[in-house]
Structures are given as structure tokens and as C-alpha cells.
Structure 1
Amino acid sequence: MNTRKALASTASILVAAGLALVTGGAPAQAAPGDNLAWTATPSASYTSPWESVAAIRDGIDPPRSNDTANPRWGTWPNQGQQWAELTWTTAQTVRAVEVYFFDDGGGVRVPASWRVQRWTGSAFADVTGASGYPVAADRYNQVTFTAVSTTRLRITLQSGAGSVGLLEVKAHGATTPPPASGWNPPANLVTPLNQVWAHQEQTYHNGNLYGFRNYGWDQLFANRGHINYCVRWDSSAPVTAAQRDQVHATLARQYRKWMDAMVGHNNWPYTEVPVRVVGWAVRDRAQLQWSDNSVDIYVGDIRENAPQCAAPCGRFFNQGGQYPNCPGGAARHYDHSLWLTDGFGGGAGGDWGQRMGREYYMNNLNAENMTILLHEIGHTYGLDDFYDWTPSGVGGFIMRAGSASSITEFDRWMLRDWWRHLKSRYGY
């Protein structure tokens, strides 16, 4: 569904709300700078046969240390000193590391201690100037140190109450400008891209395409590089903790497909865009079969005949980016809603988020491409529908509903074209 059409249908939810905030937890620490771990090859001293060392650099921010949905690295039953390592083909300059410990409350627990070591060319040595090595569950633990240039970085853990493991490792480089490749689409796409942009300028926001200030771009930059979600569970079905985590993992994985199209392009400043689910909205608290406080839970706020997270926490309702009346505080605000409705056919998308069938989403948790979700995220970033026309020289692409199941090169260049036209508003 077209972004602007979806905006109109959603305007009716701008009404006062009676809210029931049930619980809230602290969000993961925001990552400083770039994350070099994405480009590294992981290895480990030992990996349990059912775990994966590749999990430590898969780019998924864990919801908690006992993450039951996403891949993780663990060493059960081995104890003592264990390590996980990142290896690059060329030397990288690293100034900080963040680790998220795996702790299942049983055989795998947070370590007694840990440290970061670099490869000197002949041996591993502890980094110098370390700020300290915190050990805490359910959040990233960060250490900064004197910048090192190395091809191998090792996280060494000493077991405590059990075996050890990690859900994610982030390695942050010294501040350097991102790649500055500019506007250089393939020759065969120049004409259709120009046609698309001219159509958008002439058609939407009464000729004031640039005046609209709540595209996904605006939300992303207001957060300095991450996106928060609320799940509107428009269903009577129960949700287990494992399903909750799968909903988050799938959302992050699909969202990344769009964001990866921007990495290294035309001064794009981010190498990753973490996606956080900060809230769930339901009709009945008993539907949610967990008792931890990893997300805020909103009960009984019904708009458009569907549960809604707190309006004071929503970017759609507070486009200035201030959330003084959000029950969970500004850190718990949400930029998009993932609205999952029983029996809903097709999809809808806009600056408020994305909507689709609950059955469709849950049946495609492990799909390589969740086509409807990808299409609707495109609308959140301003991309058009193509119900009544097709740019010259191109065929199937995901924003032309029904003609492609995954993001195509033309879709990527349409997204980059939005950045080309809007980036000056963010100082690029």
C-alpha cells in the first residue's frame, strides 16, 4: 500500500488514550561508531555441537541473555578458559569492544571475568588502557582501550558458575569517514530512476515532498542510527517467549536487507542499523506467556479495533522526537508499529510502520524473504507503489507488488535516490 494512502487511513488514531503500562526493561546500550565484526571470520576454542560461533557477528541485537530464538555461541560442557575470535583479511584499527553474554540460567552462565586480546603477529597480548571489563546479563558490556591495529581480536572468557557463551560481539574502529561513493547507478537504471523521482515530486504531499518530516529516514537519524518497534498483536492467539523472540529476530533480519543496501553508499554514515522491539500491545495480558520485563506491555488501549502501544511513546504522535509523557521514558519510545492482524490480506505501510496478516508473519518466520514486510518497509522510507505505471526499461521489483519476492537492484537504487535527495537535511 502506498505510504501516503496509509498515512491517511491512520490519522484516525490521533485520539487521547487510557493506557496500561505493565512492565518495562532497559534497552541495550547503543553501539558507538562502526561495527567491524560484521566483516570478520569468527572462530572459537570450542563450540557446542548445537550452537554456532557465527552467531557472535550476525548483527542481531539480543533481547536478553537467555535468548531462545536467535543463534548463539556456547561451550557447554567445557569450562575453564575459553575464547571467541574475530579474524580479518587486512589489519583493522579497533578502539572498543562490546559483548553480550549468553546465560541460560543452567549450564551456561556469565563468565567470572573476561578480557580482549590482540594478535601481535606472533602471539596474543592483552590490549592496553582497558577501561574495565563489566560482567552483566541482559545488556552489552563495553570496554574501551588504546587503539590497536590487528588482523585478529580475541575475547577470552574465564568460566565461573558454568560454561560460557556469547550472543553478539561488536568491535568498533577508530573514527574514520565512511566510504564516499556517490550517485553512480548503472546506466540502464538512470532513466527509470529519474522517472520515479519526477513522479514522486509531482504526485505526493501537494508538491511538498521535501517538507514531510516523518519518513523512516527522519526517525532513523533522530535516533542516531537505530529503530524502535512496538508490536500491535491484533489477535486472540497466545504468544510464547520463544515466539516473541522469533518475531524480533525475523523483523531485524528483514529490515537489515534494506539497510545493507545503503552501507558504503554516498556518505551513508551507518554500517548497521539495530532494530529493537521495545513494546507489545494486546487485548489481554494473559495472551503473553512470559513474565520477564524485556519489553513494555500495553493492555486495553484499543484504536481502529486493534491494540495500540502508548500514543505518548509513538513517533507518529510525537513527530518532534520528544516523549515527555511516555510511561517508559524516551528510550522506550517506538518509531514503527508492526501491526499483525488475524485474517488480514495483503499489507499496508507508512511512516507509522507496517501491517500484515498475523498468520502470514508467523508462518514465514524462517523465510529468506518476507515479501510483504519488505514491500511495506519500503513505503516507510518513502518508496512508491506502481499500481498504474511502470518505469521504462525495468520489469519485476519488490515495490511493484506481485512482480518480485525479494529486493532487487532497482529497489536498492530507488532507496539510494531518496538518500541522495534528503541527505542534506541530516547534514550530509
Structure 2
Amino acid sequence: MRRLAIPPLLLLMTLLFPLREAAADTNVARSATPSASYTSAWESVAAINDGIDPPRSNDTVNRRWGTWPQTGTQWAELTWASAQTLRSADVYFFDDGGGVRVPASWKLQYWTGSAYADISASYPVAADTYNTASFAQVSTTRLRVVLQSGQGSVGLLEVRAFAPDTGGTSGWNPPASLVTPLDEVWRHVESTYSNPYGFRNYGWDQIMANRGSINYCVRWDSSATVTAAQRDQIHAALARQFKKWMDVMAGHNGWPYADVPLKVVGWAVRDRAQLQWSDTSVDVYVNNIRENAPQCAEPCGRFFNQGGNYPNCPGGASHHYDMSLWLTAGFSGGAGGDWGQRVGSEYYLSNLNTANMHILLHEIGHSFGLDDFYDWTPTGVCCFLMKAGSATSITDFDAWMFRDWWRHLKSRYGL
């Protein structure tokens, strides 16, 4: 098996967001759904928890939430699928020096289950910095930032909501026997690749950009036909294998998602007649050839649009795909990278009900940054999935290597 090289042009230096001083707390805002009392048509409430650290209150580059021309009392809110235990929050005000200014005052409210209650805290008001409110712990599914306008309308660039790290499996606590080999692996990553921190299209980045989900395109690189039943089995098998890696992260070290839904949004094929279904559950792309294989439309692919915008994608951003499952007739072994995974179509179809499709699992590991181990083995370990041919399922060592990538990258998401 081989790992495709990361394109040099994508290895650009980027600024990693600094870890908050209160390292024992975890920012859980990224896993929430944002909403607001009002949003200007050209602004976006999604800005408030997109993890982008503002350079200044008059940020003219990144998304912003603003309420111009509305004034008076306005609010922005974070809603979680399950209750969060919170004890502090940071807000960064939007102030363009014109119609949107820092508020005259602000406060936090939490949802009790039947009503909103004010949170007692000190509420500073300053531009060009995070304003922190610390408070007695509350458990809630909704946190509301209530803003009272002053010289103009109001807005926010970012909200961070912090929950205490409960320890145990939620932190970084690998077994003692794995500390040395894990350290060796990460040192190898840093010394081998020019800037592993700067690359911005790992599977981690894709999931975080989607707020906890992943979209796929299937590249059907075969002359065989596919029935609707086979299509559904192919989708289900991919979702099961991808979930095995996501289950490694659930509840660990500030990972914000208990589940990461996978959706296949498109199929690419040379001849539409090969796909023996007429429903519209997936987009179909015909004879769009790249690398001598069918491919879903480039305007819909994250690999080609890493800014996360898809203005020319038919159907819009919801029809975008983050990675491709490239199924090639007669292909042996596998390949993987930020673009997706490639395996043999015969191998895949013959293993639809296999518990561990080990070649695909290995290649998914590459999409999240995990390396191959062709010419060396970390101290004290012998057999693991990413060392091709030595294991057929995700081992404890694979799981902790995976978590180690998250440990080194999580700060870029404000976590």
C-alpha cells in the first residue's frame, strides 16, 4: 500500500491559534448550532463558532455576525444536542467603526429547560480582544449572548464556551507502554514532512469545517453495472468503516462529536447506463474524466476548493464532497490522502459485509495524516494497522497515533 504525497502547494504556513491559558477547560462551542435574533443579509451567524480567531474587531476577511440596521436588544445563541457543563465564555465583538459597534452592555443567559436565566458574572466590553466572563458552573443545552446596542447595531466575530475537562479518557493519557513509541512517531512526522501543522485539508479539517459530518463521492472506475441495492451496500460499508476511526475519538480530549455522519452525495461514472437506478438520492456525474477515471464535479470537491466555498457546485454547498471513494477494477493494494481513498472494486464488493475492510481502514488513516511504516517500527510495538500487512483492524497503537494527531492539531480549531 502507498500513501500519495501531499501536494507541495498545499503545504503553506498557517497561523495556529494559541491554546487558551485555562488548558484544563475545553471549548465546546464548535459542536453547537448557532442562531440569532437577527442577521444582516450579507453577514452569517455561522461566524460565531467557526473557530476562526479574529485578527481585530474590524475583521474584513472572515465571516461576521452583525445586526445592522437593527438596534436595541439582540442575541446570538449556541444550542447543543446534549447538555454541556459550562463555567466560562469568551466573546469577540464585531466593530467596523460605522454602523456596527461594540455593545453598551452584554450578558449571558442559559436555558433552564423552561426559560432563560441570567448568568451572574462580570462582563467587560472591549474591542480587538476576547472578553471573558467566568461564572458558577451551569448545565445547559443553550447559551445565549444578549447584547444591548449603544452607538450602533451590534455583532460578534466569535464565541467560545468552556467546559471543564473531566479527565480520564477525555484527556491525553496513553498507556505507559505506548508513550515512547508515540513520541517516536510524532518526531518522525515532524522531521519527515516539511510542515505537518500547516497543511489544512486533513480529514480533521474536513469534519470540523462541516461541523461534524463528512461527504463522499464514489468514483466508479469500472465497466461493471451497479444496482440500487449494491449502491446502498457500498454506502453502508463505507460508513461502517469510517465510523471505526470516529469511534476512536468519541469522548476523547475535547473531540466535540459523539458521532460523525457520513453521506455519499454523488457517483461518477463513464456511462450512465452502468448505474441501474433512476432515483435522485445521489448526484450522478457522467464522463467527467480526471486521472483516466470518472470524477464528481471539481466545483463540488473540497480538494479543489479548500476555502470551503462551493459557488459553482450544482445544488450548492450541501452537495459538495470532501473525499472520494475511488473504486478501480483490477487495482491491488490501496492509496489514500486528503482527497480520499482508492481500493480495488472487486476487493470492495467482496468485502461489503466484512467487519474490518483493512485496506480501506488503512487508507482512511492516511486521510487523517497517519503515516506508513515500510522502513521502521516504533520501539516496543510490532503489529498494527498502519504497518501494512501486520494487522487487519485498528489496534490500540493505531488508536493512540490517531488521537495524537488530534492532540497536535486541535488548537487550530480553538479547542
TM-score bucket (shorter structure): 0.5 to 0.7
| Cα deviation, residue 352, structure 1 | 0.1
1:196 matched to 2:188: no
1:116 aligned partner: none
Q: State which of 161, 168, 174 in structure 1 corresponds to 2:141.
A: 174
| Cα deviation, residue 303, structure 1 | 1.1
Q: 1:376 to 1:360 in 2, by over 3 A?
A: same
| Cα deviation, residue 327, structure 1 | 1.2
1:366 aligned partner: 353
Q: Secondary structure at the match of 2:278?
A: coil
1:388 aligned partner: 375
Residues 356 and 372 in structure 1, CA contact (< 8 A), matched pair in contact too: yes
| Cα deviation, residue 249, structure 1 | 0.5
Q: 1:225 to 1:95 in 2, by over 3 A?
A: closer
The whole-number CA distance in structure 2 between the counterparts of 1:316 and 1:281 is: 16
Q: What are the residue-to-residue correspondences of 1:22-171 with 2, within 5 Å?
A: 147=113
Residues 296 and 328 in structure 1, CA contact (< 8 A), matched pair in contact too: no
Instruction: In structure 2, give the amino acid aligned to 1:202.
Output: S
Residues 95 and 146 in structure 1, CA contact (< 8 A), matched pair in contact too: no
| Cα deviation, residue 96, structure 1 | 7.1
The whole-number CA distance in structure 1 between the counterparts of 2:347 and 2:7 is: 24
Q: 1:95 to 1:420 in 2, by over 3 A?
A: closer
1:313 matched to 2:300: yes
1:419 aligned partner: 406
| Cα deviation, residue 174, structure 1 | 3.1
The whole-number CA distance in structure 1 between the counterparts of 2:330 and 2:7 is: 22
| Cα deviation, residue 300, structure 1 | 0.9
| Cα deviation, residue 304, structure 1 | 1.1
Q: State which of 271, 274, 281 in structure 1 corresponds to 2:261.
A: 274
Q: State which of 323, 340, 355 in structure 2 corresponds to 1:336.
A: 323
1:231 matched to 2:218: yes
Residues 179 and 266 in structure 1, CA contact (< 8 A), matched pair in contact too: no
Instruction: In structure 2, give the amino acid aligned to 1:174.
Output: T
The whole-number CA distance in structure 1 between the counterparts of 2:392 and 2:305 is: 34
Residues 300 and 321 in structure 2, CA contact (< 8 A), matched pair in contact too: yes
| Cα deviation, residue 376, structure 1 | 0.2
| Cα deviation, residue 95, structure 1 | 9.0
Q: 1:95 to 1:198 in 2, by over 3 A?
A: closer
2:335 aligned partner: 348
The number of residue pairs the alignment matches comes to 275
Instruction: In structure 2, give the amino acid aligned to 1:288.
Output: L
Instruction: In structure 2, give the amino acid aligned to 1:194.
Output: D
Q: State which of 184, 191, 201 in structure 1 corresponds to 2:173.
A: 184
| Cα deviation, residue 322, structure 1 | 0.8
Residues 2 and 334 in structure 2, CA contact (< 8 A), matched pair in contact too: no
1:291 aligned partner: 278
Instruction: In structure 2, give the amino acid aligned to 1:189.
Output: L
| Cα deviation, residue 179, structure 1 | 5.5
Q: CA RMSD in A?
A: 2.5
Q: 1:328 to 1:410 in 2, by over 3 A?
A: same
Identity of aligned pairs, percent?
A: 72
Q: 1:247 to 1:6 in 2, by over 3 A?
A: farther
The whole-number CA distance in structure 1 between the counterparts of 2:332 and 2:8 is: 16
The whole-number CA distance in structure 2 between the counterparts of 1:33 and 1:179 is: 19
1:357 aligned partner: 344
The whole-number CA distance in structure 2 between the counterparts of 1:10 and 1:227 is: 24
Residues 179 and 265 in structure 1, CA contact (< 8 A), matched pair in contact too: no
Q: Which runs of 5+ in 2 are unaligned?
A: 11-30, 34-78, 83-110, 115-139, 143-161
TM-score normalised to structure 1 length: 0.61
Q: Secondary structure at the match of 1:261?
A: helix
The whole-number CA distance in structure 2 between the counterparts of 1:302 and 1:95 is: 42
1:246 matched to 2:233: yes
| Cα deviation, residue 342, structure 1 | 0.2
TM-score normalised to structure 2 length: 0.63
